[in-house]
Chains A and B, each alone.
Chain A
Amino acid sequence: MPRTTLKPPSLSFQPRSTYPYSPGAMAGGMIWTAGQVAWNSRAEIVGPGDPAAQTQQALKNIGAILAEGGAGFEDIVRCKVYLTDFRYFDAARAAYEAFFLGAPPAVTIVHALLADPEMLVEIEAVAFKP
Chain B
Amino acid sequence: MAYPLTKFPLECVTMPRDPVNPKDFAYASDGGFPLSPGAAAGDWLFLSGCVPVDGSGGVVGGTDVAAQTEQVLANLVTVLAARGGSLDDVIKCNVYLADIRTFQAMNDVFASHFPNDPPARTTVEARLADSRWLVEIEAVAYLGKG
Contacts and interface: CB of A to CB of B under 8 A. Distances in A.
A5 B117 contact: yes
Given A3-B91, A3-B119, A112 B125 contact: yes
A17 B122 contact: no
Given A27-B91, A32-B92, A115-B100, A21 B142 contact: no
Interface in A112-128: 112-115, 122, 124, 126
A21 B111 CA distance: 8
A104 B114 CA distance: 33
B120 A20 contact: no
B88 A3 contact: yes
B103 A115 contact: yes
Interface string A77-89: 0001010000000
Contacts of A122: 122, 124
Interface in B100-135: 100, 103-104, 107-108, 110-111, 114, 117-126
A64 B144 CA distance: 26
Contacts of A5: 117-120
B43 A28 contact: yes
Interface residues of A, number: 32
Interface in A3-37: 3, 5-6, 15, 17-28, 30, 32-35
A17 B111 contact: yes
A2 interface: yes
A126 B44 CA distance: 14
B88 A1 contact: yes
Interface residues of B, number: 33
B144 A113 contact: no
Contacts of B118: 5, 15, 20-22
B56 to A, nearest CB: 31
A24 to B, nearest CB: 5
Interface string A86-130: 000000000000000000000000001111000000101010000
A115 to B, nearest CB: 5
A25 B91 contact: yes
A27 B123 contact: no
Interface of B: 42-44, 88-93, 100, 103-104, 107-108, 110-111, 114, 117-126, 140, 142-146
In the A-B complex, the 5 residue pairs with the smallest Cβ-Cβ separation, listed nearest first, are A35-B122, A27-B142, A21-B121, A20-B111, A113-B125
30 contacts: A1-B145, A2-B88, A3-B117, A3-B119, A15-B111, A17-B108, A20-B111, A20-B114, A21-B110, A21-B114, A21-B121, A22-B118, A23-B120, A25-B119, A25-B120, A27-B43, A27-B144, A28-B42, A28-B142, A28-B144, A30-B44, A33-B120, A34-B120, A35-B121, A35-B124, A113-B100, A115-B100, A115-B103, A122-B124, A124-B122
